[in-house]
Structure 1
Amino acid sequence: MAPPERRATDRTLVPVQELHDAPLAPLTTFRLGGPATRLVTATTDDEVISAVREADTAGTPLLIIGGGSNLVIGDKGFEGTALRIATRGFELVGTTLELAAGEVWTDAVARTVEAGLAGIECLAGIPGLAGATPIQNVGAYGQEVSSTITEVIAYDRHSGETVTLSNAECDFSYRHSRFKQHPDRFVVLRVRFALEDREGLSAPIKYAETARVLGVQAGDRVELAAVRRAVLDLRAGKGMVLDPEDHDTWSAGSFFTNPILTAEEYETFLSRVRTRLGDDVAPPAYPAGDGRTKTSAAWLIDKAGFTKGYGSGPARISTKHTLALTNRGEATTEDLLALAREVAAGVREAFGVTLVNEPVTVGVSL
């Protein structure tokens, strides 16, 4: 792989806002986790780089926080510097979009829809900030950001320089990327997208549920605003749109990724399904390339006996969606993890499939 394009970065340290013994729970959608030794809020790229350099030079552990929608922080908190990304920048020139890492993602989607540009309309309502989207290769309802991202501008902690990585250099795959593979190397600063002008129409609808709600066929193009509205309604119906008053949304969205199985693993899985549920039951199955098959984590959880609303403690499965684990208001991180472990163990026992958590864990693990 060719080395990423590089440019020099001003090495001047820039003052930033900071707090000590700072609560982190309010900065996460779970509302869970203990305090950070030090919390720094950066509002410009230079401030981000300055804070990262300072921590790296001092050998201080560093935790990057964006919208907190993909974080599970331990009850003891974080001993080190937590860096909150609060940069702003929305630049749309023709069909080319550049977002600062701190831009609120769902607001950016709304603005592209208003501008009549397609490519990310099915990603409406996803919580978090723009800088997190390439890390996770965020996707929903038949779209992934990897389809529209052209470049990611990031600070490389190894070289001490700002680098520009092409789409290919990001190594995107299902809910994965080069940034996720090397979590302590890159700090995303800006993301560039190539959108599509189809005179107000969406990209072809790929997801069956979206097509059904819109009353169209897969492959059809629909008015952008209608697609965005349909996706928001679908997400809200599953508790996947943040609402401070609704504890069903105090979650990280989908807690587990959809398993991707080899041909051999899939045959073993089908055998377990037949034994447990009968010969006439067919689990969801989608081609995943290289002879592999992707199945549904939500289906596995439900069929293993963990239905909507499961749990009697302060951490429970959402009443709207089996993939969302929620804080009912008084939970601790350990309460949440106990539920996650119970669900994962139950699915493994029932179907021989190991679920993998989607949120990043800090100071804890499943």
Structure 2
Amino acid sequence: MPELLASHTTLRLGGPARSWVRGRTEDELVAAVREADEQQDPVLLVAGGSNLVVADEGFDGKVVEIATSGVVADVEEDAGPMCGGALVTVSAGEDWDAFVERAVASGWVGVEALSGIPGSVGATPIQNVGAYGQEVAQTIARVRVWDRVLKGVRTFAGVDCVFGYRTSRFKKDPGRHVVLDVTFQLRPGSLGEPVAYAELARTLGVEPGTRAPLAEVREAVLGLRRGKGMVLDAADHDTWSAGSFFTNPVLPADQPLPDGAPRWEQPGAQGRVKTSAAWLIEHSGFHKGYGNDRVSLSTKHTLALTNRGSATTSDLLDLAREVRDGVEARTGVRLVNEPVLVGVEL
């Protein structure tokens, strides 16, 4: 029986794959991709499945599951607060939140505010995953990949990954690079990085820009994410989602916005401001829980589109189009989807 993508995505949507290969080792992973490329067979890479919206018809090609594992830490035993700390190389198939949990327990600083994010480590540099004031771009030292065009292994230093808001060189050239492992440079310490997100600072009871114990930051972030249905829970349909479905728009500074819409200046992007997709959605008439008994906005957080248990991908996309088009008609801002669309268009 064909493998269903619905069994491997956090939305629990998606039809069958024509073929399926599980890459448990780096050699198996590269061989599976290379063989498919030589046979000119379409390839879909799947790991945590937290950022995929797959067609009801499935995928007419080879799905390669990234199931590699391994965490290797090069730690300076006597590292002081000004030293390099730990260089930690993590296989692409490792669970992201399990790695964050290990980092916090080990006193490795720099990813604590990224707790609770579903998916694999290998996916994080592609999207430049971020939340609560942190991004992986701040700690990634290098990314090692299989280049499907050059047919060889390449290593990119963090600065060469061309990270931006929810983007990177890997996302801008989709499908070319298969992430094999990611190396993070994490400083030693018991206190997290300065808290850069006001909501998190309030939850911790500290002023923005100050530090808090690593474990407390992790627990606070997990609590905030659970309150928004952003920590996976099979019993909670608000978590049957792909996380935030729309990115926060980054716009020209002179673009009109509705009164009261948040505006954040973008360092390094002169003349650009970021606004809140959630605010635009809510102020365009789409409230928490908007939808029907098959698919709806989360009852906790308007950025998430959720499968209420019997949805199809077609149902989800119909709601996404309604929200996107409604926001554009009301505010003049066209929202852009964050998840990767496979076999469908928005």
TM-score by length of 1: 0.90
Q: Does 1:304 align with 2:284?
A: yes
Question: What's the offset of the Cα at 1:285?
Answer: 1.3
Q: Within 5 Å, which residues of 2 pair with 1:115-126? A: 115-126=106-117
Deviation string, structure 1 residues 200-258 (Cα, Å, up to 9, x no partner)? 11011000000000000111111000000000000000000000111010001100000
Which residue number in structure 2 is paired with residue 355 of structure 1?
Answer: 335
Deviation string, structure 1 residues 147-180 (Cα, Å, up to 9, x no partner)? 0001000000011100001112111000000110
Question: What's the offset of the Cα at 1:189?
Answer: 0.3
Q: Does 1:159 align with 2:147?
A: no
SS of the aligned residue for 1:312 comes to coil
Q: Which of 217, 234, 257 does residue 224 from structure 2 map onto?
A: 234
Q: Does 1:245 align with 2:235?
A: yes
Which residue number in structure 1 is paired with residue 2 of structure 2?
Answer: 21
Q: Within 5 Å, which residues of 2 pair with 1:1-366? A: 21-94=2-75, 95-198=86-189, 200-265=190-255, 268-269=256-257, 273-274=258-259, 282-288=260-266, 289-366=269-346
Cα distance in structure 1, aligned partners of 2:187 and 2:302: 34
Cα distance in structure 2, aligned partners of 1:175 and 1:305: 26
Give the residue type in structure 2 aligned to 1:259: P
Question: What's the offset of the Cα at 1:264?
Answer: 2.6
Deviation string, structure 1 residues 106-159 (Cα, Å, up to 9, x no partner)? 000000000011100000000000000000000000000000001000000011
Give the residue type in structure 1 aligned to 2:326: G
Question: What's the offset of the Cα at 1:184?
Answer: 2.0
SS of the aligned residue for 1:195 comes to strand
Cα distance in structure 2, aligned partners of 1:312 and 1:32: 17
Give the residue type in structure 2 aligned to 1:261: L
Cα distance in structure 1, aligned partners of 2:315 and 2:293: 8
SS of the aligned residue for 2:220 comes to helix
Cα distance in structure 1, aligned partners of 2:292 and 2:112: 37
Give the residue type in structure 2 aligned to 1:72: V
Give the residue type in structure 2 aligned to 1:287: E
SS of the aligned residue for 1:203 comes to coil
Cα distance in structure 2, aligned partners of 1:83 and 1:248: 28
SS of the aligned residue for 2:100 comes to helix
Which residue number in structure 1 is paired with residue 80 of structure 2?
Answer: none
Deviation string, structure 1 residues 38-77 (Cα, Å, up to 9, x no partner)? 0111101101100010000000000000100000000000
SS of the aligned residue for 2:3 comes to strand
Deviation string, structure 1 residues 239-298 (Cα, Å, up to 9, x no partner)? 000001110100011000000010232xx22xxx14xxxxxxx21111112111100000
SS of the aligned residue for 1:113 comes to helix
Which consecutive residues of structure 1, in runs of 5 or more, have no partner in the other structure? 1-19, 275-281
SS of the aligned residue for 1:290 comes to coil
Question: What's the offset of the Cα at 1:313?
Answer: 3.8
Which consecutive residues of structure 2, in runs of 5 or more, have no partner in the other structure? 76-85
Cα distance in structure 2, aligned partners of 1:323 and 1:196: 33
Cα distance in structure 2, aligned partners of 1:290 and 1:84: 40
Cα distance in structure 1, aligned partners of 2:312 and 2:19: 21
Give the residue type in structure 1 aligned to 2:59: F
SS of the aligned residue for 1:196 comes to strand
SS of the aligned residue for 2:196 comes to coil
Q: How well do the aligned residues superpose, as a CA RMSD in angstroms?
A: 0.8
TM-score by length of 2: 0.95
